[in-house]
Structure 1
Amino acid sequence: MAFRKLALNALVVNRANDRHGELENETAAIAWLFNEREAHMRSLAKDIVEQGEIYEYPLVSPQKSKFIVFDGNRRVTCCKLLDDPRRAPTTELQTFFREQKALWKGSFPTEILCQVETDRDRIDEILFRRHTGSQSGVGQSTWDDRMKATFITRTGKGNGPSVADEIERRLAEANLLPSRRKIPRSTLNRLLSAEPFRHRVGISMKGGRFQFTHDQPKSLAALARIAKDLAERDLVLGDVWDIDGKQSYLDQLEREGVLPKETDTTKTVEPGTPARKPAKVKPSAKAKPTIRTTLIPSKDFDLNWPGRLQRHHRIWEELQFHLDLRTHPNAISVLMRVLLELALENYITTAKVVVHENDKLATRLEKAGLHLQTAGKIDAKQVEVLKKFKQGDKLVSAGTLNRYVHSTNFAPSPEHLMSIWDSLADVVVEMLKV
């Protein structure tokens, strides 16, 4: 542990703070804090001005010439905006911080005493033990369930079994462990911190139980390659710190033919797993069908959300958890179109799909669909739905989406909205996965 005075302009508000997951940049992270915690941020800024200091030192880690803030992002943000109120996300907040700055006694500090840690595993251990009590925003804000889940997804930490331990045991049984050096388990846990990443190498930890989801020898070969890269330091913690880094490394392995393919999927259980006898249960009352209340069903779509997809993520959550189909059909119809267009542009840009400037939505979607089919991500049936998207007389069509947005006489119904989404969902998900 080391404490150092660091220049305020050398500190970077963490765009991947566990409070919100990955955002695009520092500016987006600052905006999020005020969108979600404005009252707390104002209270904290007033407290800093009244006291003339901050009592809890920010926890930071060096990154090139800057220092990323891992704990204390709210305090550092308030100091940055007191130093330069123009960075506040609204004119009202800019006025607030100018007024607070005028109340500062003496010269405003250009440096902050920080706790500097270079070991990011140690940082995660520190974070794991903090965040108790908010004191109306003056103290540290307690993480809610979503923030805790984001932390676990990012780091692989949790109360369940360690995926690294499970992998190491199976590699040892297959005599595939690196011979010279140990595998950095924390980095392996971070790389395979969520099910979408594990699925790509052919394993699962759903329900806290390790399973091979693809052909076992092929999955073991992929895991052995990852273990080798980690042991030889060809892959280090900084390479897989965020979602884009994890995806980039796994994409590289996929291009090299290291990862198992979708055709290698298997439902067989591991050798030695005892067969379960069907449990004897008493006849129960007939189950009532679940009534769907949101456009996007409440299930896991195995999506990860890098910072560049922050708006996509927000819209997705509104459509999956917040907007009721019966109450907000107009808002849902517009947001569904926006999500489709954003997902489409993400895929065209990332996968480098060739489109023309004058191509309309339906044409761009068809080209993206054909590209997805060539990549083995969707089948011919799904492509056929996209081809019919040009036909204005069809329910699932660009014309229908246009009328939802622009027509004064075309009212979207929950049933029609669900039908359109269910027809396009697989394609939208694949366009968001790249």
Structure 2
Amino acid sequence: MAYRLLPVVDLMINRANDRHGELENETAAIAWLFNNREAHMKALARDIVKAGEVYEPPLVSPDGDKFVVFDGNRRVTCLKVLEYPRRAPNAELQQFFSTLKEKWKGGPSDKIMCQIEPDRDRVDDILFRRHTGSQSGVGQSTWDDRMKANFVNRTGKGNAVSVADEVEKRLAAAGMSPSRRKLPRSTMNRLLSSEAFRNRVGFSINRGRLEYTHREPVVLKALQRIADDLAKREIVLGDIWDVEGKRAYLDKLEADGLLPSAKDSLVKPKPKVAPHPAPNPPAPRSAPEPAPMRRVNLISRTDYGIPWPGRLQRVRAIWEELQFRLVLTEHPNAISVLLRVLLELSVDNYIEQTELVVLSDKLATRALKVAEDLHEKRKIDAKYLKEMKKFQHDDRLFSADTLHRYIHSKDFAPSPEHLTALWDALANLIVNCLKF
């Protein structure tokens, strides 16, 4: 670890900061900070100008001839915008920073003392111990539950079970451990930090235990290859630092036929039914069961296993509005429009990522083409494909025409019941599209 004066222009605001998850680029990361922490950013900028310096050196890591900021993104953003106020995302903030810049005696420095840490795993260890208080925006903002989840999903730190330890034990028991080389556990944990990627390799973490979702010999073979690649340093931390890196590596393994396929999936047997079950005794009288709780948001608050790469920044924002913010009974019109947008962007993402040829601009046709391709890949079953074929019919509630009328018809009013029925019907397609 070293401390050195670095040019502010050589520092890159982290597009994959755990505050927001992966975004498209530095500009999007700067915009997110102001859109979601405007009061804190203004308070911090005032404090920097008043003090004439930044007290805590940002934590950075080399990336080519630049340095990515891992701790201190708000500080560095304030310095960048104070130097060039036009980088602020709107006119009001540009004026605010222009005025502040004039008050800074001597003006902002073009260099800042930084803590340089080339070891990305050590960077995560430092981040894990630092975030404690916000001090009204002058200090570091405390991570909320979503930000902590982003950190855990990206790094694997803080999970109840060490995936790397479990994998190492099972490979050792099968006599398949990497020979003469130590397995880098932190890199393994990072690669398999989320269920979306664990499921591709053929296992899941359930209640703190590793459970196979595909045939054990096939899964062990895949894990052995991953362990060998990591142990031999053919794949290093920088290669799988973000979602795209992890996906690219697993895609290569899949192309080489090393990951489990649908035919390797473990199908749980149906429970056996006794031939002559004993009659049930009469149930004791009790108070009537409470009515089931109605859904508050369109998308239920469960983990759908979507990795969320930076290119899906807008789609993720729409998803979170539908999952956490917009209430079905209060915002049915906004929800109906966003559901239509979410479906179209999800379908387009699948077409783009898979390079699927679709010769139609109609949403219903594109959705059906995607569903057929998902069926060929054994991601959805024949029954669901049959339902998607009905999506083109105009005389059904579950149809593209219904979504179209939600937007364009002045007489067609969405109801919470209709919207939840539509989401329940489309969820499988949308989630599968966003996993590519």
For the residues of structure 2 that align with 1:331 and 1:268, how far apart are their CA atoms?
A: 40
CA distance in 2, matches of 1:140, 1:304: 26
| 1:341 and 2:344 matched | yes
SS at the partner of 1:405? helix
Q: What's the counterpart of residue 101 of structure 1? A: 101
- Contact 1:334–1:405 (CA<8 Å) still a contact in 2? yes
Cα deviation, 1:145-197, whole Å, max 9, x if unaligned, reads: 21111111111011522110111011011110111311111100000001111
Matches within 5 A, 1:205-284: 205-266=205-266
Distance, in Å, in 2 between the alignment partners of 1:268 and 1:430 is: 22
Report how far residue 74 of structure 1 moved.
0.1
| 1-structure distance, mates of 2:390, 2:159 | 48
Q: TM-score, normalised by structure 1?
A: 0.94
310, 319, 322: which is aligned to 1:319? 322
1:385 alignment partner in structure 2: 387
Match of 2:366 among 364, 368, 371: 364
Residue 263 (structure 1) shift:
2.9
- Using the TM superposition, give the Cα deviation of residue 267 of structure 1 relative to its aligned residue in structure 2, in angstroms: 6.2
Decide whether the 8 Å contact of 2:61 with 2:118 is kept in 1. Answer: yes
Deviations 1:55-96 (CA, angstroms, capped at 9, x unpaired): 000000000111000000000000000010111001111111
Residue 331 (1) aligns with residue 359 (2): no
How much does 1:43 deviate?
0.5
Residue aligned with 1:205, SS: strand
Distance of 1:394 and 1:21 partners within structure 2: 38
CA distance in 1, matches of 2:336, 2:324: 15
| Contact 1:195/1:206 (8 A) holds in 2 | no
1:279 maps to: none
Alignment of 1:395-406 (within 5 A): 395-406=397-408
Which of 292, 295, 316 is the equivalent residue of 2:295? Answer: 292
- Select which of 308, 324, 334 maps to 1:305: 308
Name the SS for the 1:62 alignment partner: strand
Shift of residue 287, structure 1, vs aligned partner: 6.6
| Cα distance, 1:288 vs structure 2 | 4.7
Render the CA deviation track for 1:267-287: whole Å, top value 9, x for unaligned: 679xxxxxxxxxxxx999747
Instruction: Check whether the contact 2:375–2:385 (CA below 8 A) recurs between aligned residues.
Output: yes
Secondary structure, counterpart of 2:207 in structure 1: helix
Query: 1:390, CA displacement in angstroms?
Result: 2.1
For residue 180 of structure 1, what is the aligned residue in structure 2?
180
CA separation in 1, counterparts of 2:70 and 2:267?
41
Output the CA distance in 2 between the equivalents of 1:318 and 1:189. 30
- Which residues of structure 2 form unaligned runs of 5+? 270-282
CA distance in 1, matches of 2:257, 2:390: 34
**Residue equivalent to 1:411:** 413
The answer on whether the counterparts of 1:343 and 1:431 sit within 8 Å (CA) in structure 2 is yes
After TM superposition, the score normalised by the length of structure 2 is 0.93
Distance across 1 between alignment mates of 2:147 and 2:108: 33
User: 2:377 corresponds to which residue?
Assistant: 375
In the other structure, the counterpart of 2:277 is: none
Provide runs of 4+ in structure 1 moved above 6 Å.
Answer: 282-285
Q: 1:84 to 1:294 in 2, by over 3 A?
A: same
Q: Distance in 2 between matches of 1:387 and 1:150?
A: 36
Note closer, same or farther for the CA distance 1:140–1:248 as it changes in structure 2 (3 Å cut).
same
How big is each residue's C-alpha offset from its partner over 1:325-353, in whole Å with a ceiling of 9 and x where there is no partner? 11111111000000001101111111111
* Contact 1:155–1:190, Cα closer than 8 Å, also in 2: yes
Deviation at 1:143, TM superposition (A): 1.0
Contact 2:101–2:107 at 8 Å: present in 1 too? no
Choose 55-64 or 132-141, whichever is displaced more: 132-141
Q: Which amino acid aligns with 2:48?
A: I
| 2-structure distance, mates of 1:183, 1:364 | 44
Instruction: Name the residue aligned to 1:35.
Output: 35
Task: Give the drift of 1:394.
Answer: 1.4
Q: 1:159 to 1:254 in 2, by over 3 A?
A: closer
Percent of pairs with identical residues = 62
Q: What letter corresponds to residue 99 of structure 1 in structure 2?
A: T
Counterpart-to-counterpart distance in 2, 1:217 and 1:291: 44
What is the rounded CA distance, in whole Å, between the counterparts of 1:178 and 1:371 in structure 2?
A: 37
Gaps of 5+ in 1: 270-281
